[in-house]
Amino acid sequence: MAVYTDISEVELGALLKEYDVGELLSYKGIAEGTENSNYLLHTSRAAFILTLYEQRVERSDLPFFLGLMEHLAQHGVNCPLPVRRNDGAVVSEIAGRPAALITFLEGMWLRKPAPQHCREVGRAMAGMHLAARGFEPTRANALTVGDWRPLWEKAKPRANEVEEELEAEVEADLADLAQGWPADLPTGVIHADLFPDNVFFLGDRVSGIIDFYFACNDLLAYDIATCLNAWCFEKDGSYNLTKGTALLEGYQSVRPLDAAEIKALPLLARGSALRFMLTRLYDWLTVSDGALVNKRDPMEYVRRLRFHRQISSPSEYGIGLK
Amino acid sequence: MAVYTDISEVELGALLKEYDVGELLSYKGIAEGTENSNYLLHTSRAAFILTLYEQRVERSDLPFFLGLMEHLAQHGVNCPLPVRRNDGAVVSEIAGRPAALITFLEGMWLRKPAPQHCREVGRAMAGMHLAARGFEPTRANALTVGDWRPLWEKAKPRANEVEEELEAEVEADLADLAQGWPADLPTGVIHADLFPDNVFFLGDRVSGIIDFYFACNDLLAYDIATCLNAWCFEKDGSYNLTKGTALLEGYQSVRPLDAAEIKALPLLARGSALRFMLTRLYDWLTVSDGALVNKRDPMEYVRRLRFHRQISSPSEYGIGLK
């Protein structure tokens, strides 16, 4: 369930006077996104999403996120287009929070993606990586290898409450990852949170990629690693090789990986699994049960970590070595 | 925040095959309603609401609620129209819950209604009372005078935690109401929960009345009493006579009250305030803080009760005695 800031029809009406979007007909708080409040608006012209940025999003990052969406939308990616205000700006303020109005994308996210959807998301991700190449602003990844140790230190004292021996496992991961993390792979803008709930489908086709609020400049292959974790494991923790193969083939049909990227996949997948395990673990231990922030089980990602540790070759993910 | 049952695009797609509503384009869980889960759907034809009935709604009451909405919509009331399935039924099942698809009404509910809105809601309520006259099924009010004592007995042992002396106040109310409750006033179908969040406006006009899940057969003037409580008090607990006058005038412009109804208003308003105080008190004391059910402060209604107790004439609500 989303964090939720209520807004009145009076303040929303006043805000919409700053835009050329027609007359407001309705607005509903929607249960989407875990970091922000979102409203689905109908106006006399079209449907829109109004996002209110809650505390977890830095205001200073908004020009990067919204500028990226605008750039991608203008370069053929199906993603929301931020609507410019009459004064040219894209960031507004409502209910004491920064906010942006973006176009509404039809489509459904898939609770149970099949292999053909994994192929499509691979293709769409590669297309996004290519389309972002002309985008000039940059943003460092705030949740990459150097950031994991400080996050871990906050969770470590209670980690074994979640799983016996977790502390020792994670310490070993952190050491391996810090030592082996690749530095010379192709970089660019990555989505960094391309989970199924951020990809809409109509039929078997991707109709939209949303929620760019973790986007940053980093290794392109790290985005693939995150997708392998997010799309290709089953509920029981097993890796679905058919889905992984489809995702990697879909990606490579648009942007072939080089040998170094392929070789790095197991370590990147392990790093990405650790990143999501750590943020989940931290929320699990610190967010109260009554809060409206979604708490997700860190154990799902502990199991992925264990899988990636025992990988001896990238081919086990379903990719041919060059 | 609404109770929220997640549904997958696969089960929703299968459900919609039972209806002639076009192709599904999107669906979003919306933060509306306190008793049910609601999704806003876009199809290739129109927007719809899919309501999943959670445990607080009796399945056996659904034909009454949905039949009433259909009757009202066909008799000129702006309310959602239940969409019939291809097999003629209106109740479906999804995610283990009974569900209904209804038309989507544009409009916004007002966080701060002004007197002209109170006049409009009075007019709309009277129109609804008249339009419901040909509706034959009946449903007893499950939360009227005889039901308050059993509800109170469950909350009483801890009532003074909420407010000192509350127990003595409520006991006196219950005695007065049981003794004085009118039996011979005009009856019909009432909404019984016509709070601002159940009435949509476009501009200053009512565009829709929603959420008929407390509707029942009872004294028509009791619906007015509930609206006086819900629309005409300020945040500080004071009664806004201008709003009350407007609401009553709006109602009477469509359906004039008879002398007995006017005379009964203070007692009905007191009874209605007690009814909402009791359900809020019960939830306040029994629902855990982490639950997704909205907990509303019972003290708002304790203050209304105190106001109604000291009324000596219906004219104090803004209505002329005949």
Q: Which of A7, A9, A112, A210 to mutate to test the interface with B (most CBs of B within 10 A)?
A: A9
Contacts of B202 in chain A (CB under 8 A): 25
Say what angle helices B220-231 and B259-286 make with each other, to 10 degrees.
Answer: 60
Contacts of A290 in chain B (CB under 8 A): 289-290
Q: Which of A28, A43, A201 to mutate to test the interface with B (most CBs of B within 10 A)?
A: A28
Q: What is the structure's pLDDT at A57? A: 87
Q: Which residue has the tokens 């109401």?
A: B177
The DSSP result for B101-160, as a single string, is EEE----B--SS--HHHHHHHHHHHHHHHHHGGG-----B-TTSHHHHHHHHHHHGGGHH
Q: What is the structure's pLDDT at A286? A: 86
Q: How far is A26 from chain B (nearest CA, A)?
A: 5
Phi first, then psi, for residue B37 (nearest 5°) are: -95, 135
Q: Domains in chain A, start-ordered, CATH in brackets?
A: 9-103 (3.30.200.20), 115-317 (3.90.1200.10)
Contacts of B1 in chain A (CB under 8 A): 1, 4, 292
Is residue A29 helix, strand or coil?
strand
CA angle B232, B211, A37 (to 5 degrees): 85
Quick check: A111 and B25 CB within 8 A?
A: no
DSSP H helices in chain A: 9-16, 62-74, 115-131, 145-155, 159-162, 166-180, 220-231, 241-254, 259-286, 299-309
What are residue B219's DSSP bridge partners?
B187
Strands in chain B per DSSP E: 24-30, 37-43, 47-52, 92-94, 97-103, 187-190, 199-202, 205-209, 216-219
Residues across chain B: 322
Chain B residues whose C-beta sits inside 8 Å of any chain A C-beta = 1-2, 4, 6, 8-10, 12, 24-32, 40, 42, 47, 104-112, 200-202, 289-290, 292
Calculate the CA dihedral of residues B144, B150, B153, B154 and round it to 10 degrees: -100
Q: How far is A132 from chain B (nearest CA, A)?
A: 27
**Cβ-nearest to A106 among B10, B25, B110:** B25
Contacts of A200 in chain B (CB under 8 A): 26
Separation of alpha carbons A264 and B194, rounded Å? 61
Separation of alpha carbons A50 and A28, rounded Å? 10
Quick check: B112 and A4 CB within 8 A?
A: no
Whole-Å CA distances, B63 to A159, B48, B69, B148, B189: 52, 19, 10, 26, 14
Q: How does pLDDT run along chain A (322 residues), one tens digit per residue?
A: 455 788 999 999 999 999 999 999 999 999 877 678 999 999 999 999 999 998 888 999 999 999 999 999 999 999 999 999 999 999 999 999 999 999 999 999 999 999 999 999 999 999 999 999 999 999 999 999 999 999 999 999 999 999 999 999 999 999 999 999 998 999 999 999 999 999 999 999 999 999 999 999 999 999 999 999 999 999 999 999 999 999 999 999 999 999 999 999 999 999 999 999 999 999 898 876 655 556 789 999 999 999 999 999 999 999 975 4
Q: What is the structure's pLDDT at A5? A: 86
Q: What is the structure's pLDDT at A54? A: 87
Q: How far is B38 from chain A (nearest CA, A)?
A: 10
Contacts of B110 in chain A (CB under 8 A): 9
Total Cβ atoms within 10 A of residue A21:
18
DSSP B164: T
R_g of chain B, CA atoms, integer Å = 20
**Cβ-nearest to B9 among A31, A106, A110:** A110
Low-confidence ranges of chain B (pLDDT < 50): 1, 322
Q: What is the structure's pLDDT at A31? A: 81
Chain Cα centroid distance, residue A214: 6
Quick check: B31 and A28 CB within 8 A?
A: yes
> Tens of pLDDT along A92-134?
999 999 999 999 999 999 999 999 999 999 999 999 999 999 9
Nearest residue in B to A29, CA atom: B31
Chain Cα centroid distance, residue B17: 32
From edge to edge, which strands make up the β-sheet containing A47-52? Answer: A92-94, A97-103, A47-52, A37-43, A24-30, B24-30, B37-43, B47-52, B97-103, B92-94
The DSSP result for A256-283, as a single string, is PPPHHHHHHHHHHHHHHHHHHHHHHHHH
Separation of alpha carbons B285 and B163, rounded Å? 12
Q: How far is A168 from chain B (nearest CA, A)?
A: 33
R_g of chain A, CA atoms, integer Å = 20
> Tens of pLDDT along B82-102?
999 999 999 999 999 999 999
**Cβ-nearest to B30 among A10, A25, A28:** A28
Instruction: Return the percent helix, strand and coil in chain A, to nearest 5.
Output: 45, 15, 40
Quick check: B30 and A27 CB within 8 A?
A: no
Closest CA to A196 of B151, B6, B68, B19: B6
Nearest residue in A to B202, CA atom: A25
Quick check: B108 and A27 CB within 8 A?
A: yes
